[in-house]
């Protein structure tokens, strides 16, 4: 019996080892580990790291842990080597991105600061560290925003379920299990509600830190090139979020000056400048920004022609239709030709534009197309279904918003 059990255990271990060897992610991490054993300061090695391609498995985490452990020891052995310190930071940050341990995010920020202190004040390495710190703060902000959206979605779902159960319970005799379920739902709602202000506070904290660090990155010799253009654009976007419109416009116009001709920042910057102008009540200026976005030459590598779709939709929602619909139609047409990427929001905004213009035939066509897109937003999908149903009723074809 004992020998049989040992044989079965060995078979299971062998099978698991064989599966790990065949796993592309495990193989990649082991290849990176081999390279780092030879040269722990090889920064091209950590650039090869990617998140698990499929479902995360313990073997993925273990292989990444091996990389982190190796670089931790290397950093301890070479405390003044920037490349080793930088690789250690990258490994810890990637482990956080791939597997989500909060402790890794805090550790990564500290390690990046430590690596930056090993560089010369005006060096490219110092500028790169400043820029990455800013980008990571932005990523943390976006993660908290995603968590906030999930909480709000769950809160709405719980409230809806509670209302339904309470309505059903009112017409039925008492039931202990049902009443316990209702009480559980009632208790969950305040817990979810209380978590919202905390997340909002964290979002504000990370946004302010991102602003501070992008300003630092621009000071650190990043006065030209894609890093400078992106830093200026993100700063403008963050200032717009804070309703600091003057600073937002200054940074966004700087991004337009810094970006390469037809670069991927350009139409995003036109979009945000237009949104700022629209928020100030300058509809004519916002239309001019959309016109500028529409004049950018499409590029099948950059695929950024349709990046001004937020401005187009905002103009539609403010009562301006012709220019936004023309821009969105061109963007969708280019996507159909394979020149540009097709964003579901493009199709949604175009359907909304045709609906507001009273063109029911085109509106229904694009609403249905939006509903067929697998990555369409669920809340917008429900709205699209409602509008299609309404447009299908004679006499209800006007104004679907």
Mean pLDDT of 309-327: 95
Residue 174 CA to residue 165 CA, distance in Å, equals 12
Question: In whole numbers, what is the pLDDT of the chain averaged over residues?
Answer: 87
% pLDDT > 70, the chain: 90
In a domain, 49, yes or no: yes
pLDDT above 50 for 311: yes
Mean pLDDT of 326-350: 91
pTM, two decimals, is 0.76
Q: Indicate left, alpha or beta for 332 from its phi (over 0: left) and psi (-120 to 50: alpha).
A: alpha
In a domain, 283, yes or no: no
- Domain holding 37, by residue range, is 18-118
Mean pLDDT of 341-362: 93
Task: State how far the alpha carbon of 80 is from the alpha carbons of 40, 204, 351, 356, in Å.
Answer: 13, 35, 58, 63
pLDDT of residue 3: 53
Q: Angle, to 10 degrees, between the axis of helix 322-336 and the axis of helix 344-357? A: 140
In a domain, 60, yes or no: yes
Mean pLDDT of 242-258: 92
> What pLDDT, in 10s, does the model give residues 176-189?
777 888 888 888 88
In a domain, 65, yes or no: yes
Residue 358 CA to residue 40 CA, distance in Å, equals 64
**Phi, psi angle pair for 350, to nearest 5°:** -65, -40
pLDDT of residue 8: 47
Q: Which of the four pLDDT bands, split at 50, 70 and 90, describes residue 172?
A: confident
pLDDT above 60 for 5: no
Q: What is the DSSP string of 42-110?
A: -HHHHHT----SSS--HHHHHHHHHHHHHHHHHHHH-TT-HHHHHHHHHHHHHHHHHH--HHHHHHHHH
In a domain, 38, yes or no: yes
Residue 261 CA to residue 344 CA, distance in Å, equals 26
- Please say whether the beta carbons of 340 and 306 come within 8 A: yes
Number of domains in the chain: 1
pLDDT above 80 for 171: no
Q: Which of the four pLDDT bands, split at 50, 70 and 90, describes residue 222?
A: low
Q: Which of the four pLDDT bands, split at 50, 70 and 90, describes residue 163?
A: confident
pLDDT above 70 for 376: yes
In a domain, 70, yes or no: yes
pLDDT above 90 for 33: yes
In a domain, 53, yes or no: yes
- What's the chain's length in residues? 401
pLDDT of residue 395: 53
In a domain, 81, yes or no: yes
Q: Where is average pLDDT lowest: 2-6, 128-132, 331-335?
A: 2-6
Q: Following CA atoms 318, 320, 321, 327 in sequence, which dihedral angle do they give, to the nearest 10 degrees?
A: -100
Residue 307 CA to residue 295 CA, distance in Å, equals 13
Q: What is the DSSP string of 345-379?
A: HHHHHHHHHHHHHT-HHHHHHHHHHHHT-TT--HH
> What pLDDT, in 10s, does the model give residues 60-95?
999 999 999 999 999 999 999 999 999 999 999 999
What lies within 8 Å, CB to CB, of 141 at 6+ separation is 203, 206, 207, 210
Mean pLDDT of 297-307: 85
Q: Indicate left, alpha or beta for 243 from its phi (over 0: left) and psi (-120 to 50: alpha).
A: left
pLDDT above 70 for 9: no
């Amino acid at each position: 019996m004992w020998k049989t059990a040992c044989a079965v255990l060995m078979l299971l271990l062998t099978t698991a080892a064989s599966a790990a060897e065949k796993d592309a992610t495990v193989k990649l991490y082991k290849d990176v580990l081999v390279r780092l054993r030879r040269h722990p300061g090889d920064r091209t090695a950590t650039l090869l790291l990617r998140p698990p391609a499929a479902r995360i498995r313990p073997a993925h985490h273990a292989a990444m842990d091996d990389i982190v452990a190796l670089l931790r020891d290397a950093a301890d052995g070479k405390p003044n080597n920037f490349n080793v310190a930088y690789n250690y930071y990258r490994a810890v940050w990637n482990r956080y991105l791939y597997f989500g341990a909060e402790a890794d995010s805090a550790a990564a920020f500290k390690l990046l600061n430590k690596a930056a202190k090993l560089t010369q004040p005006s060096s490219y390495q110092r500028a790169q560290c400043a820029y990455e710190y800013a980008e990571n703060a932005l990523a943390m902000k976006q993660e908290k925003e995603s968590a906030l959206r999930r909480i709000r979605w769950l809160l709405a779902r719980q409230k809806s379920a509670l209302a339904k159960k309470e309505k059903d319970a009112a017409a039925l005799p008492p039931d202990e299990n049902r009443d316990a379920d209702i009480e559980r739902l009632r208790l969950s709602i305040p817990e979810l509600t209380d978590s919202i202000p905390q997340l909002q506070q964290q979002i504000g904290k990370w946004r302010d830190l991102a602003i501070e660090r992008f300003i630092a990155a621009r000071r650190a010799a990043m006065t030209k090139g894609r890093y400078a253009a992106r830093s200026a654009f993100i700063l403008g976007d963050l200032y717009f979020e804070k309703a600091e419109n003057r600073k937002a416009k200054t940074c966004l116009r700087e991004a337009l000056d810094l970006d390469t001709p037809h670069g991927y920042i350009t139409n995003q910057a036109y979009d945000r400048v237009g949104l700022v102008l629209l928020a100030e009540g300058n509809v004519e200026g916002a239309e001019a920004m959309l016109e500028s976005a529409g004049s950018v030459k499409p590029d099948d590598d950059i695929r950024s022609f349709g990046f001004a779709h937020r401005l187009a939709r905002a103009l539609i929602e403010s009562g301006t239709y012709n220019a936004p619909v023309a821009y969105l139609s061109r963007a969708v047409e280019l996507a159909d030709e394979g020149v540009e990427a097709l964003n579901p929001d493009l199709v949604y905004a175009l359907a909304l534009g045709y609906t507001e213009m009273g063109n029911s035939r085109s509106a229904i066509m694009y609403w249905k197309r939006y509903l067929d897109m697998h990555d369409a937003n669920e809340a917008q999908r429900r709205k699209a279904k409602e509008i299609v149903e309404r447009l299908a009723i004679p006499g209800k074809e006007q104004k679907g918003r």
